[in-house]
Amino acid sequence: MKGSEDVMEGKWKQLRGRVKEAWGVLTDDEIDQIGGKRDRLVGLLQERLGYTRMQADREIDRLLDDLDRSA
């Protein structure tokens, strides 16, 4: 999923606030550590919310799609 990793990094400034909204259990420090890296967000979602990798990927894709639609 390297292509989607690049997309997420390129949109991180816009996406950061939406990540906080979507997953309010993530702290500001955790969000800062993500730094636009998809794998880091996937790991946090797995750790903090018990998502499988597939669930986390699907939710991140949904968030990216929502961002594209609102642009």
Q: For 32-59, what is each residue's pLDDT tens digit?
A: 999 999 999 999 999 999 999 999 999 9
Question: Over the chain, what is the mean pLDDT?
Answer: 90
Looking at residue 10, its pLDDT comes to 87
Domain region containing 43: 2-70
What type of residue is 26?
L
Looking at residue 3, its pLDDT comes to 53
Can you give the CATH number for the domain in which 22 is found?
A: 1.10.1470.10
Continuous H helices in 11-52: 12-22, 28-34, 38-49
Looking at residue 2, its pLDDT comes to 45
Q: What is the DSSP letter of 25?
A: T
Note the pTM of the prediction, 2 decimals: 0.86
What is the count of structural domains for the chain? 1
Separation of alpha carbons 70 and 50, rounded Å: 28
